[in-house]
């Protein structure tokens, strides 16, 4: 859903407030999901190596995890896709009215007849996956240790409408850099958790699970894994959570890397909130970023407004797989255009299976509404400066919601240790451009490795 091209002044101001944060408004895994230990599984092998602070059965125990949905769930999914009641086509020749009918028909046709969920289950189950309970909610995470000594631990957080699927392609390059064009000294141990209410983590049964609380949970998780020093990375909600970790400033956290930074000064934030013209003193890069944000706030926030105000109203996306898919595709214009090209047969950074892996995960785990609640919980100004006082690395991809200028980034992060503008990539950078993304993390955190012991 996109907002009206010419919203009323009051509606326009309200739209901006949702993302500027001025007035933002039961645990389980879905049918058929199991978590169990197996002596032969990769998860169990890694469990023997994973630092644990408690015996099995204790509240802080770390439990091996495996994904397994019954065949009946997949049969039901295909049946629902095939039974979709389609709307009439859009009355325009572009995506200004939303995700185009031709795109959704192509997606549904492939999803119902050729897509194989079992392939992504196998990929996930080949990785060491775990589950632990923090603050009353079961947290799912992938934890891959590097074979190289002195690897730098990193916790990497996805966003919406993403999941751990976003980060699967960067695990190899980060944990085994010598096999992917890097050096042994570039190695990371990688922890990739599912945000509460998303994917394989539990659905919080009570309110209060905002980015601040999730940041506290991630701090507990890294301590529970035995890491005395580590870094954090994120985009989208992952940026908000990583920045809140930085504000909490646990002594173990050396620095963060973000690919959707929060760099808006009060002056810029205020002008955008009220739909004012860009300030006259902006440079060319700053003017470009301002226009990107102004367009996004005016025309790209339909989904965020609804989820921030009435997430429970979205019964349709919990009941219709095609409805869920369309809702997820309409996140930002550049990503939607890329996905449309993919289902039109063009070669892009993502494949049809990539896209459907992520959507199917949301469907099978029944997390359409539980994930939407994070927008309702959030009271933070998403893009506003947070006054971080620890080292920050920033990678700017051209098709992100906005390309943060160096000038704004330097003002936002006094301890900026890395800034780079990339030639290609968008909002789902780790998923779409994994090689470049891994190189950015290596470069961004290189100066912190000397501090790590």
Asked if 158 is an active-site residue, the reply is no
Asked if 236 is an active-site residue, the reply is yes
- Residue located via tokens 């407030």: 17
H or E element, residue 158 = none
DSSP assignment string, 334-378: HHHHHHHHHHTT---SS-HHHHHHHHHHHHHHT-HHHHHHHHHH-
Q: What is residue 281's three-state secondary structure?
A: coil
Neighbours of 407 (CB within 10 A): 14
Instruction: Considering the candidates 115, 362, 375, 413, report the single residue annotated as catalytic.
Output: 375
Instruction: Considering the candidates 158, 257, 418, 427, report the single residue annotated as catalytic.
Output: 427
Instruction: Considering the candidates 189, 236, 294, 384, report the single residue annotated as catalytic.
Output: 236
Dist. CA 50–CA 45, nearest whole Å: 9
Which structure tokens are listed for 114?
């050729």
- Residue located via tokens 């695990």: 171
- Residue located via tokens 């039974």: 83
> How far is the CA of 445 from the CAs of 146, 167, 397, 440, 451, in angstroms?
16, 18, 18, 8, 11
Asked if 427 is an active-site residue, the reply is yes
Please, where are the H alpha helices in 151-254? 168-175, 211-224, 237-248
The residues annotated with a catalytic role in the active site are 236, 375, 427
């Amino acid at each position: 859903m996109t907002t009206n091209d010419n919203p009323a002044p009051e509606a326009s101001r309200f739209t901006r407030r949702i993302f500027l944060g001025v007035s933002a408004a039961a645990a389980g895994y879905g049918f058929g999901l199991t978590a169990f230990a197996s002596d032969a599984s990769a998860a169990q092998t890694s469990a023997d190596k994973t630092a644990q602070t408690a015996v099995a059965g204790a509240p802080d125990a770390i439990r091996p995890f495996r994904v397994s949905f019954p065949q009946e769930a997949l049969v039901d999914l295909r049946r629902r896709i095939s039974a979709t009641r389609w709307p009439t086509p859009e009355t325009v020749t572009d995506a200004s009215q939303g995700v185009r009918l031709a795109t959704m028909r192509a997606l549904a046709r492939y999803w119902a007849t050729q897509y194989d969920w079992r392939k992504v289950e196998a990929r996930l189950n080949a990785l060491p996956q775990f589950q632990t309970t923090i603050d009353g909610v079961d947290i799912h995470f992938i934890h891959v240790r590097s074979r190289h000594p002195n690897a730098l631990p990193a916790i990497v957080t996805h966003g919406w409408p993403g999941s751990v699927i976003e980060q699967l392609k960067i695990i190899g390059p980060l944990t085994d850099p010598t096999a992917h064009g890097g050096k042994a000294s570039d190695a990371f141990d990688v922890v990739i958790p599912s945000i509460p209410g998303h994917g394989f983590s539990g659905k919080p049964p009570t309110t209060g699970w905002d980015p601040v609380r999730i940041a506290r949970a991630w701090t507990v998780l890294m301590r529970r894994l035995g890491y005395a020093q580590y870094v954090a990375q994120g985009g989208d909600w992952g940026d908000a959570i990583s920045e809140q970790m930085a504000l909490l400033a646990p002594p173990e956290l050396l620095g963060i890397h973000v690919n959707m930074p929060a760099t808006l000064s009060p002056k810029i934030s205020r002008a955008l909130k009220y739909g004012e013209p860009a300030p006259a003193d902006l440079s060319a890069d700053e003017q470009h970023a301002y226009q990107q944000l102004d367009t996004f706030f005016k025309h790209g926030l339909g989904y965020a407004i609804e989820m921030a105000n009435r997430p429970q109203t979205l019964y349709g996306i919990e009941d219709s797989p095609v409805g869920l898919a369309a809702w997820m595709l309409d996140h930002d214009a550049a990503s939607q255009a890329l996905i449309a090209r993919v289902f039109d047969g063009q070669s892009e950074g993502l494949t049809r299976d990539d896209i459907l892996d992520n959507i199917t995960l949301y469907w099978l785990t029944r997390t359409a509404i539980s994930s939407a609640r994070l927008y309702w919980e959030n009271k933070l100004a998403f893009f506003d400066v947070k006054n971080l006082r620890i080292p920050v690395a920033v990678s700017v991809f051209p098709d992100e919601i906005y390309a943060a200028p160096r000038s704004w980034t330097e003002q936002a992060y006094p301890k900026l240790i890395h800034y780079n503008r990339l030639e290609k990539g968008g909002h789902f950078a780790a998923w779409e451009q994994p090689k470049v993304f891994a190189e950015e993390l290596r470069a961004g955190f290189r100066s912190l490795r000397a501090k790590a012991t």
